[in-house]
Structure 1
Amino acid sequence: MKSLLTPSLLESWQVWALLSAVFAAATAILAKVGVVAIEPDTATFIRTVVVLFALGGLLAATGHWQAPTTIPAAGWLALVLSGLATGASWLCYFRALKLGDAARVAPLDKLSVVLVAVFGAILLGERLSWTNWLGVGLIALGAVMVAWKG
């Protein structure tokens, strides 16, 4: 039987983005179940430790470790700030899941897609067509409509 994950598929950003979406959906449901009897900050800590060990194992298994001294200062700064933003995002996400329905929390969290498009255009000079911007607007509208408790 031929594998579906051919080398060309493994190098496709679209495949990895779709897998990210699948895992993000699983994250929301599993986190909602896991946060029921635990403080959200503790849940975030547990998740972070699991990610740390899983990624450490992955780096060891694949040999993709890069010596910290080979990373430029600008890279360090951006990654440290990204890590702080990730931590803040996770803390807010787990708190929201503790207080709200996963089916309503996750769509509002995905407004990050809209913000990435706006920030990418403003800060990185990325250009989107009018159809891309229409899609961004529809994502925003859809997220709000799904989160709306009507």
Structure 2
Amino acid sequence: MKSALVSWQVWAALSACFAALTAIFAKVGVENVNSDFATFIRTIVILFALGAILASTGQWQSLSTVSVRSYAFLVLSGLATGDSWVCYFRALKLGDAARVAPIDKMSVVLVAVFGVLFLGERLSAPNWLGVTLIAAGAVLVAYKS
């Protein structure tokens, strides 16, 4: 049996839990703070936390070991992450966490579509049904009656 620490499912579930906490903590934290400044503080915390993880686990690697292609896509990913965080914090500043988070999670639907279009991934009919249900669920949870 695989160790839980090498199971993508365990890490994905932990990611979902931390993402949920992120929404709750951020909603309270952004209450009396400019959303962009709040994102800046969050980014500094992440920078230091990851630095500590890399240092404590000995995972630092030489910058020369990273290919130009990897650098390019990591920079693009970083820019997309930053844009996502800025938009997310602005949305939390303006809306309810219980409505903002589900719309943010429409990224699951977009990842499925982009994975098929750009990465050549294949999804079965049940997978597409799940994607459709996620989209419908996000809209229903975000709906304000």
Check whether TM > 0.5.
Answer: yes
- Aligned amino acid, residue 29 of structure 1: I
The correspondence of residues 87-98 of structure 1 with structure 2, limited to 5 A, is 87-98=82-93
| 1:122 counterpart = 2:117 | yes
Instruction: Give 1:91's aligned amino acid.
Output: V
Deviations 1:67-116, CA, capped at 9 Å, x for gaps: 11110000000000000000000000000000000000000000000000
Task: State the secondary structure of the residue aligned to 2:120.
Answer: coil
1:111 is aligned, of 81, 106, 113, to 106
What residue in structure 2 maps to residue 62 of structure 1?
A: 57
Report the RMSD for the aligned CA atoms in angstroms.
0.9
Instruction: Give the TM-score of the pair, scaled to structure 1.
Output: 0.95
CA deviation vs aligned residue, 1:29-65 (integer Å, no higher than 9, x gap): 0000000000000000000000000000000000011
Please name the residue that 2:17 is paired with: 22
CA shift for structure 1 position 7: 6.2
Residue 72 of structure 1: which of 67, 72, 91 is its match?
67
Structure 2 alignment gaps of length 5 or more? none
Instruction: State TM-score, norm by structure 2.
Output: 0.98
